[in-house]
Structure 1
Amino acid sequence: MQETHKSMKDVSFWFAELIEKNDIAWPKMLHQTIDIHADVCIVGAGYSGLWTAYELLSASPELNVVIIDAKYPGYGASGRNGGAVIPRINGSREFWGSIKGKTGTMALEKALVEAVDHVGHVIAQENIDCGYTKNGMLELARTPLELQRLVEALQEDRRYGHGPAEIRMLSKSETASRITAEGVIGAKLTVNAACIQPAALVLGLTKAVSQKGARIYYNTPVTSIESCLATTTHGKVHADIIVCAAEAYTQSIVTERNKITPVHTSMLVTEKLSEEVFAQIGWGDREVVLAEHPFLHLQRTRDGRITIGGDDNRLTYKYGSVPCTDGPAEDKVFATYREELVRLFPALANVKIEHSWQGVFGARRDWAPAVGLNKKTGIAWIGGYVGEGLAASNLASRTLTDLILGRETQLTRLPLVRELPRKWEPEPLRMLGSVAILKMRHHGMKMERKTGRHSPMVDFANKLAGFTGFTG
């Protein structure tokens, strides 16, 4: 794996940081597959694949588990994300309720809250040095319209059983006591949320599953998945169960095309900031921070930097849903996020952006994740988190573990367990539709910021896209 270290620096700051600290000693991994037999073959060594292997081998150590990845563990969104472990999942409460009713939706939300703690528990148990810090999440409101939406969301939270000990509103002054961001008039605080160094979690999970007996094959692209068979560029893997956990890179598997499409995203990270700067900003508890118009996620890293990123598909969509190349964010994306960072924190106007990177996360056609197992074919599916995968992937993997082991549990009764939605439209329809919808959303949000009133255009664009929102 040593030969990949130089290219890892282009993947994300998170990998670059580990390399600079000489802290990326991978466990032994294999390359040639030829002809392999296993009980379970997991395609994809991101969070979904690694968590599934971890849970399977924790429950049944005798299992023969093989993990195959076209690159190396964490190459995709798992090594590039914002590091927010939050009890949130794509798909609105109405969407999940249409599958299992309000009770099922409430059970899903409870399971997501517990997943945040389960991630922390495994990190502590396996002694993974990824800076897990559980100090909550702040969703900032900078306009009366945004504040109104947060209040309405809180009222809905109450109807779904979330009390003040879990989620509550903060006044302008209460928010300022935690973080000083320009124009903020209030915030919604979710207590049960954490932040991490994403690539360090990947590395720790890779070591843990290797120690439990999983065989990991890197630089081994899978070309097709059939009943009890995964065909790779180096041979075949025969297994009772084949788990497709390739997420945004599912398009490269002929038999899986158009089940998940990649959505582009980018991130920036500042240089290390001085205590004087943080004296102005605050943010001493390192809460996860979200903001809107456009959607932004931010983290204060454990070594005193600030990361910022979001969904930039409007600026970078590529025909055929081709994943972006490794390397820095495109100039127009870089400029957008730099501008948003300074808009939030004017004190950072002259701060250097030390690193930027881009990547993709996976979205299913109904913009919601799915977990399932076809017992006749032995093919299992997991993923489609639409950028909300850190806690959700842990929950999904434990759910899939129960399905594979034939255990009927509270997790297997969650609405997350469902059939795959219909596939994405073929090109050029996908590109034409995506560009039109994203432009409508962008224009609608721009008008909302300008007028302070809700834009029906955003609702119309969401309806056309099939996007219902999120839960949590």
Structure 2
Amino acid sequence: MHKSQDISHWFAQIHGDATPIPTRERLDGSINADVAIVGAGYTGLWTAYELLRARPELRVVVLEAKFAGYGPSGRNGGAAIAQLNGSREFWAKKGGGREAAVRMERAVQQGVDHIGDAVQREGFDCSYAKNGVLMVARSALEMRGWQESIAADRAWGFEEEDTRLIGRDELQSRVSIKNGLGAKFNAHCASIDPARLVVGLAAAVERLGGTIYEDTRVNRIEQGRAVTGNGTVNAQYVVRATEAYSGWLEGHKRSIVPVHTTMIATEPIPDELWKLIGWDRREAVLAEHPFLHLQHTSDHRITIGGDDPRVPYLSGSKTSTDDHPEQRLQDHLRGQLVKLFPELAEVGIDHAWSGVFGAPRDWAPSVGLDRQTGLAWAGGYVGEGVVASNMAGRTLRDLILNDDTEMTRLPWVRKPGRKWEPEPIRTVGAQVIFRGRLWGERAEERSGRPSKLLALSNRVAGFTGHLG
């Protein structure tokens, strides 16, 4: 059994600190279905939800090794941000041109609103608040980077209503960040309580007639069936929605590797400190060097997570995430929080937890369906999965129903990229790449100039940048 505080602050808010999280019944024997979905995170649940809304008569079964939301869906920072890994140039190449990349980006932006529509329609109590995201600059180099990013947005046809540059005075009037020089503001972002969203989504799938089996680990997927230790689900379509946990499936150890992360949540912050900080609009906040993501929660805390001062890949693609994060990782995040907000030096930390996100070899997600075998897949979001998983659910719905739609014509409908290198090459490569990125970022911070080491590390990794 898993205690809620070991999973995330978000689950602790639902179940309390000491209560083991209850699970649904496990699969017992073999059954038949129209669609079998492996994984009850956002991707699997959005797919089931969209299929059942479109075709209520379908027999949809979701199989989950732990419980709904156990993985990244219940552990993330709660920013539904219109950002997707893969640069505009990458998606233009995959989709056949500039227009395809623009369609891809617009679909990501619209995904934020699709989540909001579902929240309103189903009454999900997940504190959805579409207030945008501030991508903060704390150095002249970072500010120049955001200026160039805004110029690129305009060149690709995105307007001020999508993104705009905010100067120092406006930033400080919105969020009083120490040394904040300005920010890029992206209007297409909502803050959410991620665990309440995934719990509500699972309940909606069941209301619509879907079946979710928990504590049911799938060992392998093949044409026409998903095989577990307790029985087999025979289905015309089998969907792999396992993201960072794909290595648990036979033959998928090198498809997507898990990258480890840490998050902390403060105790509730007193009103007098909020008056000093500002942040009344509850925008999500991103910062660089190191990369950080923050949320002003609906219960008046701050959550913060981001890059760890270590190599966040464990040899053999291990996905153990229930251990309490090392104290040095917690101290690192607390130190970064106080660097941003010195006023919070005496505020306590209530929760700390670990998680993983999935990274494919080309660092960009894919969605697809092999019509000959009936095997479908989605994932590889590289930490940008809150919106992407909703998009994937709608894309898989249309692929499975054989509907030619805007979603099925997006450039991410493609075969997955090549697999990761075998061990020990994978571990050695991760050490070299992540340490190169860390040293490169530190060099940029010291010198105020772009780091050749950082650029080289990204190139060696195959990192394709961000769309949005």
Q: TM-score range by the shorter chain?
A: over 0.9
1:221 aligns with 2:217: yes
Instruction: Work out the percentage of aligned pairs sharing the same amino acid.
Output: 48
Q: Which runs of 4+ in 1 moved over 6 A?
A: 21-26
Alpha-carbon distance in 2 for matches of 1:315, 1:262: 12
Alpha-carbon distance in 2 for matches of 1:91, 1:171: 28
Paired position in structure 1 for 2:26 = 31
Paired position in structure 1 for 2:117 = 121
Q: Which amino acid aligns with 1:40?
A: V
Q: Does the aligned pair in 1 maintain the 2:309–2:329 contact within 8 Å?
A: no
Paired position in structure 1 for 2:101 = 105
Alpha-carbon distance in 1 for matches of 2:309, 2:381: 16
Which ranges of structure 1 fall in alignment gaps of 5 or more residues?
none
1:260 aligns with 2:259: no
Question: What's the offset of the Cα at 1:372?
Answer: 0.1
Q: Give the counterpart of 1:304 among 280, 283, 300.
A: 300
RMSD: 1.6
1:434 alignment partner, SS class: helix
1:230 aligns with 2:226: yes
Deviations 1:403-447 (A, max 9, x none): 000000111110110011111111100000001110010000001
1:151 alignment partner, SS class: helix
Paired position in structure 2 for 1:42 = 37
Which ranges of structure 2 fall in alignment gaps of 5 or more residues?
none
1:52 aligns with 2:79: no
Question: What's the offset of the Cα at 1:23?
Answer: 12
Alpha-carbon distance in 1 for matches of 2:432, 2:221: 33
Q: Which amino acid aligns with 1:175?
A: L
1:397 aligns with 2:393: yes
- Corresponding pairs, count: 467
Alpha-carbon distance in 2 for matches of 1:220, 1:20: 24
Deviations 1:322-346 (A, max 9, x none): 0133132212211211111110000
CA gap 1:421/1:313 in 2 versus in 1, 3 angstroms: farther
1:77 aligns with 2:76: no
Paired position in structure 1 for 2:163 = 167
Q: Does the aligned pair in 1 maintain the 2:282–2:297 contact within 8 Å?
A: yes
Superposition pairs of residues 250-289 of structure 1, within 5 angstroms: 250-289=246-285
Deviations 1:338-392 (A, max 9, x none): 1111100001111111110001011111011100000001000101101101111
Q: Give the counterpart of 1:157 among 153, 160, 182.
A: 153
Q: Which amino acid aligns with 1:67?
A: V
Deviations 1:292-327 (A, max 9, x none): 001100000001100000133834432101013313
Alpha-carbon distance in 2 for matches of 1:386, 1:324: 18
1:177 alignment partner, SS class: helix
Q: Which amino acid aligns with 2:195?
A: A
Deviations 1:165-221 (A, max 9, x none): 111001100111100000000001111210000000011000000000111110111
Alpha-carbon distance in 1 for matches of 2:194, 2:346: 27
Q: Which amino acid aligns with 1:98?
A: K
Q: Give the counterpart of 1:448 among 440, 444, 448.
A: 444
Alpha-carbon distance in 1 for matches of 2:17, 2:452: 49
1:87 aligns with 2:82: yes
CA gap 1:257/1:221 in 2 versus in 1, 3 angstroms: same
Deviations 1:263-293 (A, max 9, x none): 0011011000011101111000000100000
Paired position in structure 2 for 1:431 = 427
Q: Which amino acid aligns with 1:38?
A: A
1:357 aligns with 2:353: yes
Q: Which amino acid aligns with 2:436?
A: M
2:310 alignment partner, SS class: helix
Question: What's the offset of the Cα at 1:235?
Answer: 1.1
CA gap 1:127/1:109 in 2 versus in 1, 3 angstroms: same
